[in-house]
Structure 1
Amino acid sequence: MKDNTLIEVKGLQKVYGGKKSIFLSTKKVTAVKDVSFSIREGETFGLIGESGSGKTTVGRMILRLIDPTSGSIIYNGHSLMDLSKKEMAALRKEVQIVFQDSGSAFNPRKTIGSQIAQSLLKFGDNSDSQLIHKETLRMLEVVGLRADFYDRYPHELSGGQRQRAGIARALILKPKFLVLDEPVSALDVSVKAQIINLLMDLQKEFNLTYLFIAHNLDLVAYFCDRVAVLSKGEVIETSSTMELFKNPKHEMTKKLLSSILTLHGDLGEVYRNRNVI
């Protein structure tokens, strides 16, 4: 790998089914096939594609939330495929995820603050309850939530506030790499802009590297440095965001981009403006 490459994925594949028994036989379904790309330290790498293209599966395999059928995942020079469950748990401090559905991402019976603090209790190095409480309050402030949100329950927060809390829960461990799994797809337009701009500010402040999984290409144009296009579980095109919007090569990419061409006209202009949200 190059020195500034943080994540390198090679030949990643995920196959479901294919098991046979006396009573049951299931058909093999290949959700992800031979996916390869790399993510440089400090950049935002977009992974786009139609619904069902395998985007989320790829993101979760990189974090080993789903075990790949085959392929390799290299993080910071180390193979994640070779790590035991205990070793992978130790790495959770460095690789985190922000989920799409902020409502289901939190336990409705526990306060927001206690769930953010739980990350430190589970994966952190400090067990001092006062210090953990103090750090949780600080992280709430970092993502734009007041201290009194600590004692609120998930249903008492708006969708945008819950997503800010989800970001705080991921960031409290001081990770290097975040998978952002369609983190604003369920939010109103104005709230989307606030969350994306927050993520951009946090990236600069904490030197974060992002994998941004999305189907909203307006956001990709605004947010991402490079992009891979996924279709039926395969990467069909990878390029800088500017090049993708100015000169898409694959027919599927052109099809995906046509939706915002109708709204904005010239695709190159969409990227150059970078103000589409």
Structure 2
Amino acid sequence: MQSESLLDVSGLTKVYGNKGSLFVPRKEILAVNKVSFSINRGETFGLIGESGSGKTTIGRMVMRLIDATAGDIQYKGKSILSMKKGEMDKLRNEMQIIFQDSGSAFNPRKTIGEQILHPLNKFYPGNEAQIQYKKVIEMLDVVGLRSDFYHRYPHELSGGQRQRAGIARALIVKPKFLVLDEPVSALDVSVKAQIMNLLIELQKEFQLTYLFIAHNLDLVAYFCDRVAVLSKGKMIETAPTIDLFRKPQHEVTQKLLSSILTLDGDLGDYYRKQSVI
């Protein structure tokens, strides 16, 4: 059975630059150059590449956090780049993002519970306060946090706890698609493993689709169904994870993979060697 596409990106381009002036010459930087890919329902699609390759820029364009210079992004067959603000706001309950820095992702003056409650009130207004509170407590439990975390402030949580809270805030509106922008890169190894396994469990439970942005190839091998490799804003290779790790085609991909353990046997053997498990 052919998989159904959820997100389709075609010719996506982002140019940064200034307009120039009498004393400052005009300068443009091509951050993303005509990138195209599709993500099927229920799969985890990985974006990897060296620092500055355009991974995070693509993720933010997919979420319409920054505007694309050219190209198109279709979600369920509809172009999100042509949507007006009201249309895009309605879609945000289906498309959420989990950021790399869990510290800066939260308002330090509000409790964790208040911040998880905010998107719930925005997308599902009208429910009684007690009902909304109960939903937040239930979601805290889903991500492995006790109910008393509702009343805590971000600085009172560890990095792993804040990231769990960030996952709870994203999931509270029942999205179908999540952009995971290096969600565990700031965490230590043991906490990293816990969060990755949590994301896998949640994907199965809530039938989620992931765009996973990372530079850690161990995590990509463990987590992704398919992988695209970026270099200087261009997509240079895309393949199922097992094929990419066994037979990388591009020189840049080969160099990236040379930094990890040699693959002997099937990819399952490779997974079991990694510290993330």
Q: TM-score, normalising length from structure 1?
A: 0.95
Match of 1:274, SS? helix
Contact 2:228-2:235 within 8 A present in 1 as well = yes
Q: CA deviation at 1:269?
A: 4.9
* Equivalence for 2:128: 128
1:29-178 aligned within 5 A = 29-178=29-178
Q: CA deviation at 1:121?
A: 1.6
Match of 2:86, SS? helix
Unaligned runs of 5+ in 2: none
Aligned counterparts of 1:20 and 1:273: Cα–Cα separation in 2: 51
Q: CA deviation at 1:114?
A: 0.4
Distance 1:258 1:126, change over 3 A: farther
Aligned counterparts of 1:268 and 1:102: Cα–Cα separation in 2: 37
Aligned counterparts of 1:140 and 1:68: Cα–Cα separation in 2: 35
* Equivalence for 1:194: 194
Distance 1:247 1:156, change over 3 A: same
Aligned counterparts of 1:120 and 1:266: Cα–Cα separation in 2: 45
Contact 2:3-2:41 within 8 A present in 1 as well = no
Match of 1:238, SS? strand
* Equivalence for 1:266: 263
Aligned counterparts of 2:217 and 2:126: Cα–Cα separation in 1: 41
Q: CA deviation at 1:86?
A: 1.1
Distance 1:155 1:241, change over 3 A: same
What is the identity, as a one-letter code, of the residue corresponding to 1:57?
T
Q: CA deviation at 1:129?
A: 1.7
Q: CA deviation at 1:128?
A: 2.5
Match of 2:30, SS? strand
Distance 1:20 1:109, change over 3 A: same
Match of 2:42, SS? coil
What is the identity, as a one-letter code, of the residue corresponding to 2:140?
L
Contact 1:97-1:180 within 8 A present in 2 as well = yes
Match of 2:81, SS? helix
Query: How many residues are aligned here?
Result: 273
Contact 2:99-2:105 within 8 A present in 1 as well = yes
Unaligned runs of 5+ in 1: none
Runs of 4+ in 1 over 3 A off after TM superposition: 20-26, 267-273
Q: CA deviation at 1:213?
A: 0.2
Aligned counterparts of 2:26 and 2:121: Cα–Cα separation in 1: 41
Distance 1:225 1:150, change over 3 A: same
Contact 2:263-2:270 within 8 A present in 1 as well = no
Aligned counterparts of 1:42 and 1:153: Cα–Cα separation in 2: 33
Deviation string 1:8-67 (CA, Å, 9 cap, x unpaired) is 000000001141345644301111000000000000000000111110000010010111
Aligned counterparts of 1:40 and 1:96: Cα–Cα separation in 2: 16
Contact 2:242-2:267 within 8 A present in 1 as well = no
Distance 1:103 1:267, change over 3 A: farther
Match of 2:212, SS? strand
Match of 1:148, SS? helix
Contact 1:245-1:267 within 8 A present in 2 as well = no
Contact 1:246-1:268 within 8 A present in 2 as well = no
Aligned counterparts of 2:270 and 2:258: Cα–Cα separation in 1: 17
What fraction of aligned residue pairs are identical, expressed as a percent? 67
Contact 1:50-1:215 within 8 A present in 2 as well = yes
Contact 1:245-1:268 within 8 A present in 2 as well = no
